Structure 1
Amino acid sequence: MPARHFDRGRLRAVRRAAELSQRDVAAGVGVATSSVAGWEADTPTSPDPEKLPALARTLGRELDDLFPRTGLPDLTDLRCDAGLYQIETSAILGTKSAGPVRGAERGERRLKDRYVAPLAAAYGVSEEELLRAQERSLARAQGTTEDQNAGEDQAGFGAPPDSLSGKITLLLRRSFPGRQQMPSDAEIAEAVNARAGFEAISEEGVRDLRTGKEEDAAPLVLEGLATFFGVSPMYFQHDDAVAQQVYEGLRLLSASRRGAVGRVRARGSRQGLPADVMALVNDLVDEMEQRDSGSR
């Protein structure tokens, strides 16, 4: 699972900047002062993942900012981000033990339908986000990647995301794969504002859209996001048919980046794409082929 990055030096610096003592932080998180001292010292100790949300709140920082994570969360990540230990989920589900969650996190079995809604509510995510995280847990347990588990062409795409946060996350993953450094929320906000000519959105506003705290944005912001990521503004529209067209184009382009250019052209007609959309995809594929051949 993509664990959050814990930096003890940054923790110490942020605590001091907030003018908090180790005792203050310990009280806010619910641990001994010696635990906080150990987290900041050059020792192998670090806080439980379940403690990171309380630690970020105590220090007055966003969880994603203080303890960033590259990649999308699985079920264990969602639970830890909610500050819950596995044993606490039995009370949420009304079960005698945490067995249902334990089995799902291990990828041994899926959650029963009746558990999805209460667990999503407790984790502060949508049911759709919870189910997608479940698929990542299953893929990990099977020794595959999420990409390998998602379809015939291994493009890593399941159903197109229907939430704004899901669409932004997808674009971040596809535009900055592997170890490429993803842009920060501040950089995205700066690009959107530069296009708008005024402050249309703040760094916090971008973070809220990316994490799903806010589900809608002004048209000018959506246009700026589209320009930043290099996609059509249609991608962010609520019209499912329009979003599906742009999504399919992205999926086919993803295949071409892995050397499956021939399959892109051959399979385009089977994807239900309009002729003009497919023509655009093929033009882009041609451009990439020329660029790649010229760099050899």
Structure 2
Amino acid sequence: MTPRQFDRKFARQTRRAKDLTLADVAKRLGHSGNWQVSAWEQGKKPVPSEKLAAYANALGVPLDRLAPRQGEPDLRDLRHDRGISLKEIPAIIQAKSDGPVKNAERGVRPLADEYAARLAEKYEVSLEQLRAAEVRSSRGHVAPVDTPTPAVESPRTLAEKIAHLIRCKFPDAPPTDHALAQAINAKAGLDVITTEQMQALRTGDQPPAAILGAVPEGTLYDALGSYFGCSPLYFRGKEEQVLQTMEGLRLLANLDDLSPEDVVLQARGGEGGFSRPLLAALNAALEKLKGEGRGSQGR
């Protein structure tokens, strides 16, 4: 996918030049409030790519000027350029679900000829252009219909983990490196990373330590975890995760006034949360560590 790069400065200048308020643009986009448009203009949130066409219409400017794109579009890009959601797809292709298009956009299997013809007409492109975009969606190869989808390996490197979270959290509108850097710096409360460093970190061109210099990895991981809504431990290697978790358990084990039940209550947040087997394992580990701690004190 080749995401468009939203030009927020151009958007603001155009809106003001046309004497439009944030509320005016929000109303044209069908929003009840203007906070989203304001966040987009300030670069605090990425504009969903399926909203860009409507945004350009609201400002009365070409889409390619508001959000230029480098390279050729894939299948999802063509849909977003027309401002069409997946919910509208069944009626367009005259099918029971959006599955055929969703699978083609993911490179799982090609579109049937009748679906491709209807989409090309709706997207206002030739059938050849649509098929070319379909190939780009599959990164150069569309899997045959009978070929099962290959299993996806778990992300291992920091770059792979960041890319995985971007795909999961922002499937339709991946944030730019600039937006990511701004968001991470805001979460950290200081300038942790630049746009160029974020790009290098995301692509894995260099090790994190070489990219960030003197910035502690812990500070970056805390900010990344806060932004993506996951534990900072996720960004560390498996060995680091185990060691840090064990250190936490050892610390708990040394708190004589803290019972296993207290730890369980904290982990569960009062109610719900971890499964019974996991809680039992945590209790056993804590009891064992407490025993080890007391045994070493008695020697």
Q: TM-score, normalised by structure 1?
A: 0.46
Q: TM-score, normalised by structure 2?
A: 0.45
Bigger RCO of structures 1 and 2 (CA < 8 A, at least 6 apart): 2
